[in-house]
């Protein structure tokens, strides 16, 4: 390729690696998207708690999804992804602090997880069970929060993401995600890796991109669908190509996001933008914990929390232990 062509495609730079998000556009297909590749940052999140493998994979998918969505924020706010369900993994919380910080935590029922594993029911849908997924955009103390809630009824996180965008933004969206452990020669243990790609159809203003949103929320109800709607050819091609991506391509450390995008969309053209680095970063601190203890508990409650004269608070995300003397908060 000529240097001018590489520059026009955004490829006149070194290929990006792990812990990055790469935005891109498919101009001829009226689509745009982001691809995420996670390495050390995800490994830190998942390895810190020594989660069972099925739980770690599910939390890894949630972290990828939060990074794909949260990285689109144009301000320094927070995107929060949270599931609450009746399945073996009954709670997942992932925070994405724009523009680049991530942390995540999963809570699970050990006995229920063992029973599910013995029965071979460890797919994301089976681990989640029934409940809901909430996606919250927190723009700061003086701004109103925005929250979208989607039912979880045995669907994968990929399928739930598709429903979320249809219901909340009415934008045709497709997501692919993969999480895996990979071994490197000389390393003492396998490392967690993950990758994901999100594409959205954004045609020129005034052109219908999807059928009318069903009034009863049932996308499979033919009575509620627009019988005259015809999906745009560009979107059909964009999402069909994404569907061909296999899990290994998404997590392969030797296949950069740029090479994967070019492999998928070189015939119609893809333009990539500079990568944005991501990092595992917890927002807990001594000051935050002190404020919580002062504002949420009385002197008597703090005394009851003390063991051997100390209050110990352990961050669920990063496992950092904070210790306080209960008397230090008395006026």
For residue 240, the Cα-to-chain-centroid distance in whole angstroms is 22
What's the pLDDT at 3? Answer: 60
Count of alpha carbons within 13 angstroms of residue 87, beta-carbon side: 30
Of 159, 186, 185, the closest CA to residue 173 belongs to: 159
Kindly write down the DSSP assignment for every residue of 138-149, as one continuous string: E--TTS--EEEE
Q: In whole angstroms, give the CA distance from residue 138 to residue 135.
A: 10
Long-range contact set of residues 288-297: C-beta below 8 Å, sequence gap at least 24: 289/313, 289/322, 289/324, 290/324, 290/329, 293/324, 293/329, 294/329
Q: Assign 290 to helix, strand or coil.
A: helix
Task: Find out whether 192 and 51 touch, Cβ atoms under 8 Å.
Answer: no
Residues 6+ apart with CB under 8 A from 161: 65, 69, 173, 175, 198
What is the reported pTM? 0.87
For residues 314 and 318, give the distance between their C-alpha atoms in angstroms, rounded to a whole number.
Answer: 8
Separation between Cα atoms, residue 51 and residue 89, nearest integer Å:
11
Name the 3-class secondary structure at 129: coil
Helix 110-118, helix 53-70: angle, nearest 10: 110
Choose among 293, 302, 295, 308: nearest CA to 327: 302
For residue 272, give every residue at least 6 positions away whose Cβ sits within 8 Å of its Cβ, in sequence order, or none.
9, 10, 11, 22, 23, 24, 257, 258, 261
The two structure tokens encoding residue 174: 């497709």
- Measured CA to CA, the distance from residue 258 to residue 306 in angstroms comes to 53
Q: Decide if 131 contacts 88 (C-beta within 8 A).
A: no
Burial of 95 (0-12, 13-18, 19+ CB in 10 A): buried
* 206: Cβ contacts below 8 Å, ≥ 6 apart: none
* pLDDT in 10s for each residue of the chain, 331 residues: 556 665 666 666 789 999 999 999 999 999 999 999 999 999 999 999 989 999 999 999 999 999 999 998 877 789 999 999 999 999 999 999 988 999 999 999 999 999 999 999 999 899 999 999 999 998 776 677 888 899 887 678 998 888 888 877 778 899 999 999 998 877 788 999 999 999 999 876 544 444 444 444 444 555 555 555 577 889 999 999 999 999 999 999 999 999 999 999 999 999 999 999 999 999 999 999 999 998 888 888 888 898 888 999 999 999 999 999 888 877 6
> Interhelix angle for 53-70 vs 40-47, to 10°?
130
8 A C-beta contact, residue 279 and residue 41: yes
User: Quick one: pLDDT at residue 16?
Assistant: 93
DSSP secondary structure letter of residue 201: E
């Amino acid at each position: 390729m000529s240097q001018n062509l590489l520059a026009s495609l955004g490829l006149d730079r070194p290929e990006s690696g792990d812990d990055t998000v790469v935005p891109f556009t498919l101009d001829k297909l009226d689509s745009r998207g982001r691809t995420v590749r996670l390495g050390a940052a995800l490994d830190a999140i998942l390895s810190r708690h020594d989660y069972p493998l099925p739980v770690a994979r599910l939390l890894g998918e949630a972290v990828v999804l939060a990074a794909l969505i949260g990285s689109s924020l144009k301000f320094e706010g927070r995107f929060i992804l949270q599931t609450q369900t009746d399945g073996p993994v009954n709670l997942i919380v992932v925070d994405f602090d724009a523009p680049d910080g991530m942390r995540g935590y999963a809570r699970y029922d050990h006995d229920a997880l063992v029973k599910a594993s013995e029965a071979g029911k460890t797919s994301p849908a089976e681990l989640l069970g029934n409940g809901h997924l909430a996606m919250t955009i927190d723009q700061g103390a003086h701004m109103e929060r925005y929250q979208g809630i989607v039912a979880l009824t045995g669907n994968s996180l990929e399928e739930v993401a598709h429903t979320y965008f249809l219901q909340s933004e009415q934008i045709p969206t497709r997501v692919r995600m993969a999480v895996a452990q990979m071994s490197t020669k000389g390393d003492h243990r396998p490392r967690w890796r993950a990758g994901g790609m999100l594409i959205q159809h954004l045609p020129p203003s005034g052109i219908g991109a999807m059928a009318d949103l069903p009034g009863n929320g049932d996308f499979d109800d033919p009575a509620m669908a627009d019988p005259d709607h015809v999906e745009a050819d560009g979107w059909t091609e964009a999402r069909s190509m994404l569907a061909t991506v296999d899990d290994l391509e998404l997590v392969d450390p030797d296949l950069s996001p740029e090479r994967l995008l070019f492999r998928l969309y070189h015939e119609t053209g893809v333009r990539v933008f500079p990568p944005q680095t991501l990092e595992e970063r917890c927002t807990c601190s001594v000051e935050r914990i002190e404020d919580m203890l002062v504002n949420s508990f009385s002197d008597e409650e703090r005394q009851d929390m003390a063991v051997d004269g100390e209050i110990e608070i352990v961050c669920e995300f990063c496992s950092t232990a904070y210790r306080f003397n209960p008397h230090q908060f008395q006026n």
